[in-house]
Amino acid sequence: MAQLFKNMFDLTGRVALVTGGSGGLGGETALAFADYGADVVITSRRKDALDKMAQEIEAKTGRKVESIPCDVTQEASVKDLVSKVVANHQRIDVLANFAGMNIPKPAEEYPLEDWKTIIDANATSVMLCSREVGKVMIQQKKGKIINVSSVRGEYGLAKNYLGYCATKAAVNMITRQLACEWAKHNILVNAIAPTVVETALTAHLFKDAAFSAGLKARIPMGRWAMPEDIVGAVLFFATDASNFVTGQILYVDGGVTTW
């Protein structure tokens, strides 16, 4: 019997580039892509962390993972990264933009220097990587781009999230605009928007017991998200299962946005 739908999530033969791929959500995504058959390239600024993650993924999946350091806030570095990936693999089928950060400070004291830093890290990086990989995908006449937003791109938080909320709202609109412009090239652009995911990026939240308890109380499922909770949504957007879906922000939030 033919496998009518069993291969919808198969990434065999696809080339996937993951920014922020040295750990956290990016590392888990790279692992999932490799496990589903993709040739994976991971990037971040730290070569040592990248190599360690590549070795971990290779040990778990048996698949070779390439690591290329890059500063995704710098145009020249991004162009060099994309050139190397194309030279080594001839194509890029999936881009997952997981690089990002937070600088939690009160709005009334938010330094302009920190504002510029977080804009570059969370929004400019998405634009640069999508723009350069988009050029490759336009030539291929197809591709999938997955961005990482947050429920904070739609909803505020009681304190210290001015920069983060603003940049994730920007990611939402970058996603929708690219989807609109590039649909004619069969390039599908979507975003996932998690609630709090337990990673190094969110560790500061758990230091304030009362504040973190209040956050958790707003999650109907009663727990934080874990990196592995994000994988299914990312795979959906990266594979043929989502071939008629673009410009969407998918909330992976345990029900936060239901009330």
In terms of residues, how long is the chain? 259
SS3 state of residue 255: coil
Residue that the structure tokens 């758990």 belong to: 206
Closest CA to 94 of 19, 25, 199, 153: 19
Report the alpha-carbon distance of residue 159 to residue 34 in Å, rounded: 38
Burial 1-12 (b: 16+ CB within 10 A, else e): eeeeeeeebebe
Closest CA to 164 of 73, 100, 226: 100
List, by residue number, the catalytic residues.
164
Burial of 16 by CB count in 10 Å (0-12 exposed, 13-18 middle, 19+ buried)? buried
Report the alpha-carbon distance of residue 88 to residue 154 in Å, rounded: 39
* Beta-sheet strands, E only, within 30-170: 39-43, 65-67, 94-97, 143-148
For residue 190, the surrounding DSSP H or E stretch is strand 187-194
